[in-house]
Structure 1
């Protein structure tokens, strides 16, 4: 039996929440009423204003504002003018941390995740505890995982580019 994760689940340090999301079920109810469930298989942690790879490192902006909210809300942003990236805000108010959902079972890559979920700007700030179109459920499964450096953040330099903050569920 699965249940929707409460806001408190997300209101911890991003380095605790990120691996805990592996094996959880991301549920999406589409406009036509159909519901699809996806197992979260790969995530990356972005840890607040001190993490140069994190968008919040540049401070509070219109783009990053939601990252400074209490954990349990959605942070989406558009890259390359075509892919919406799904991030889950974590921590307490003003922590400015988030987990990027990089992979779902059968879907590899954050751009493909956003496309499969049909994300758009309207998801920005969505509350996962009350949303009728996107939420995360716990199945009680705690899968094994590996850690690696995050992908595509060489611009952040060291030590940020080498932090093992990418979590991948073992098959």
Structure 2
């Protein structure tokens, strides 16, 4: 018997993040359907995690992170990129997994149109902002249920991936060395690792 997807998502983010590798996220829109197979994720543990949006408690912006599990949390990064997260854990405790990268497995032409005709296929959803753009996600989708058969559908794979690697998180100045980033080992769609300049500066002091 296959595990219940909601039971998997109801665990803490550091446990869910590696488990999400190989899952698919599908968005049905009037323009068509795009499906991304997840190849890179990153865990954020809420109020115990200084790199999390919920570190200082609940706000209007991060309220979705406090549950229930199985919802989408979308935020605007640097005023340019919409980044998608899967809410995890138990309701009341903020926890989410950032979807860092994936492979477009359905709707390649539509994703290419959204990203630009000169973007390489492996880069269509490589990086959290690019993944959000390929799936046409905005903050209007924040709070959407991912397991109830709506326009956004998160689904587990038929079989788990062969190998998953882990390492430090990308682009955060606090707790950047926590090994909570997970990726499909050797996959070309995984984003490049870049340590935050703020993190590097703090180490040099």
Counterpart residue number, 1:146: 165
Return the match for 1:54 from 39, 52, 55: 52
Query: Between Structure 1 and Structure 2, which shows a larger proportion of strand residues?
Result: 1
Distance 1:31 1:9, change over 3 A: farther
| Structure with max Cα Rg | 2
Counterpart residue number, 2:25: 26
User: Unaligned regions of 5+ residues in structure 2, if any?
Assistant: 104-121, 188-205
Alignment of 1:1-171 (within 5 A): 6-32=5-31, 34-105=32-103, 106=122, 107-143=125-161, 144-154=163-173, 156=174, 160-170=175-185, 171=187
Partner Cα separation in structure 2 for residue 47 and residue 80 of structure 1: 21
Contact 1:7–1:128 under 8 Å retained in 2: no
When normalised by structure 1's length, the TM-score is: 0.89
1:110, CA displacement in angstroms?
Answer: 0.5
1:141, CA displacement in angstroms?
Answer: 2.1
How many residue pairs get aligned? The number is 163
1:139, CA displacement in angstroms?
Answer: 2.0
Contact 2:69–2:88 under 8 Å retained in 1: yes
Distance 1:70 1:41, change over 3 A: same
Structure 1 moving runs of 4+ over 6 Å: none
1:7, CA displacement in angstroms?
Answer: 2.6
When normalised by structure 2's length, the TM-score is: 0.75
1:24, CA displacement in angstroms?
Answer: 0.9
What's the RMSD between the two structures over aligned residues?
A: 1.5
1:25, CA displacement in angstroms?
Answer: 1.3
Partner Cα separation in structure 2 for residue 80 and residue 9 of structure 1: 31
Partner Cα separation in structure 2 for residue 140 and residue 164 of structure 1: 27
Contact 1:18–1:167 under 8 Å retained in 2: yes
Contact 1:84–1:115 under 8 Å retained in 2: yes
Contact 1:24–1:141 under 8 Å retained in 2: no
